[in-house]
């Protein structure tokens, strides 16, 4: 399918999965990839496009900073890790984006932000003003005070959150960076005969049956939550692409209309 129409996308939400910005074996932040990500996104911003980042990784970063060997089990442990990790994550993003003179902002939101009309309106106004000022907002669920995401596996490592944000800011496009090239008919890491699906026009039961859960000790989102995100985005008129975050230049390739990842048509 011709994807040249993606070149015209102006307001893009990019969801960064935990596995995209961490070393999978250790859980420590992957600084080389984060630096490259800052460069790629600033370059897209320099093309007069608007970028909103939804970043995972706070709980994982906090877990490593605290020297916690096991995955946090209790809600309090997860919230403590998020509190430590969120500060560390933003400090690194701030440092890396500053290298390219790109201003960023932190926005912590909860599900209630989406459901409460006044809160949602306030958030929309903040996003609008930041984007008008050329700032790149970096969004995360406020895990230290809200337990919606870290209690609800269906919220999926910010997959659902990124789709809700895309809807809120009236984005043209949502890009989900994951640890897989896109949607397959089966898990390609377990089944060599799994077929790649380049474009999805409609989400149906058969498509949903292809979804697989996460299988890393640091991420929480699997393909199920990504398809759910595609449904939210599609209903809001937002095209979505799932692509491999191992090479963050894939973001630029997608916006150049190249056939990277799985495209979910709105």
Question: What parts of the chain have a pLDDT lower than 50?
Answer: 149-156, 213-221
> Given this model, what pLDDT does residue 42 score?
98
Facing residues of 242 across strands? 176, 262
CB within 8 Å of 162: residues ≥ 6 apart = 13, 15, 54, 139, 174, 176, 229
Q: How far is CA 15 from CA 23, 77, 141, 166, 227, in A?
A: 17, 24, 12, 10, 14
| N-terminal to C-terminal alpha carbon distance within the chain | 14
> Given this model, what pLDDT does residue 153 score?
44
The CA-CA-CA angle for residues 184, 161, 209, to 5°, reads 25
pTM for the predicted model, two decimal places? 0.89
> Given this model, what pLDDT does residue 154 score?
39
Helix (H) or strand (E) holding 13: strand 11-16
> Given this model, what pLDDT does residue 144 score?
56
Does 3.40.1160.10 match the CATH number of domain 4-264? yes
> Given this model, what pLDDT does residue 248 score?
96
Q: Where are the chain's structural domains?
A: 4-264
Show the tokens assigned to 113.
């932000």
> Given this model, what pLDDT does residue 63 score?
86
Q: Tell me phi and psi for residue 230, to 5 degrees.
A: -65, -35
């Amino acid at each position: 399918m011709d994807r040249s129409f993606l070149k015209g996308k102006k307001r893009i939400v990019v969801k960064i999965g935990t596995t995209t910005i961490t070393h999978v074996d250790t859980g420590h932040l992957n600084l080389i990839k984060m630096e490259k990500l800052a460069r790629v996104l600033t370059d897209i911003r320099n093309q007069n496009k608007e970028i909103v980042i939804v970043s995972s990784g706070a709980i994982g970063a906090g877990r490593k900073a605290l020297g916690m060997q096991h995955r946090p089990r209790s809600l309090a442990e997860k919230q403590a890790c998020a509190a430590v990790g969120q500060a560390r994550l933003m400090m690194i993003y701030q440092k890396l984006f500053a290298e390219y003179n790109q201003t960023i902002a932190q926005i912590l939101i909860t599900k209630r932000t989406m459901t409460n009309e006044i809160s949602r309106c306030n958030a929309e106004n903040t996003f609008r003003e930041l984007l008008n000022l050329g700032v790149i907002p970096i969004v995360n669920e406020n895990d230290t005070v809200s337990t919606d995401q870290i209690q609800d596996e269906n919220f999926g490592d910010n997959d659902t959150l990124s789709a809700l944000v895309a809807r809120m800011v009236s984005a043209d496009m949502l890009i989900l960076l994951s640890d897989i090239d896109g949607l397959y008919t089966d898990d390609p890491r377990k089944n060599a005969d799994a077929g790649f699906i380049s474009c999805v026009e409609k989400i149906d039961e058969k498509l949903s049956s292809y979804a697989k859960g996460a299988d890393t000790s640091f991420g929480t989102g699997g393909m199920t939550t990504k398809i759910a995100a595609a449904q939210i985005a599609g209903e809001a008129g937002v095209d979505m692409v799932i692509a491999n975050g191992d090479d963050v230049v894939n973001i630029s390739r997608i916006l150049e209309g190249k056939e990277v990842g799985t495209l979910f048509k709105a």
